[in-house]
Amino acid sequence: MFPLNQQYTNLEMDGIEPYAKITGTSLAEGPWGRQNWAQQLEKSAKSNIEFLVRERESKNDFTMLAWLYIASTESSQISNPGSWGLTIKLVKKNFIPFIRLKFVQRPTPSVQGLAFDGLETNTWNFLAITFDPLTQVATLWANDQLVGSLKTNIYKLVYENHLWIGAKVKDVNSQHLKMRISCVQFFTASLTKEAMAKTKFVCKGL
């Protein structure tokens, strides 16, 4: 788990994952009104967080949880910058924040995606993404509600590169978002709604 707060900054608190590379962000108010409990990303290609995901090729289940505060409806991305695997984008559609989730497979590229336009602005959103290689189903959750599921026909996720939040510095075509992020968690399990509820407030107790 990465609290992304003043105490842990870029460190995973249990020492399980490698450290995160944080560029061009600042500490900001996090969930539950706690000061210096989030990283503020600016609308800039030089503002991003890179998570050094341990397993680049994984047949394990996968879950990512995060708290997001959307401060504007500009676009940004949370993605694996490689050519295949999992890509999550926060974009805008008719000035509404929009989550788009894509799964890409090789050697014959096939892009499948989930989308959700119900993110709230100027408040904290609890986001969850799961993937189960046994059923090949991906799910997208926002604020404790299942907002999408997809039969992907993909039996594993492959990370050619690291997982980014924000935009790569060299990606001149990226669109950027002013947002705050806190308490990012990765699991090699496809969590149920009940399991998500148990870990949702784990940062609050730190």
Residue 128 backbone dihedrals phi, psi, to 5 degrees: -140, 135
Decide if pLDDT at 29 tops 90.
yes
Predicted TM-score (pTM) of the model is: 0.83
**Confidence grade of residue 40 (pLDDT, cut at 50, 70, 90):** very high
Average pLDDT in the 168-180 region?
58
CA distances from 137 to 90, 113, 133 (A): 21, 11, 7
The token pair at 170 is 């060299």
Q: What percent of the chain has pLDDT over 70?
A: 65
Query: Do 39 and 4 form a contact (C-beta atoms < 8 A)?
Result: yes
- The DSSP result for 7-59, as a single string, is TTTT--TTS-SPPEEEESEEEE--GGG-TT-EEEEPSSTT-EEEE--S-SEE-
> Cα separation of 80 and 2, whole Å?
18
Decide if pLDDT at 65 tops 80.
yes
**Confidence grade of residue 43 (pLDDT, cut at 50, 70, 90):** confident
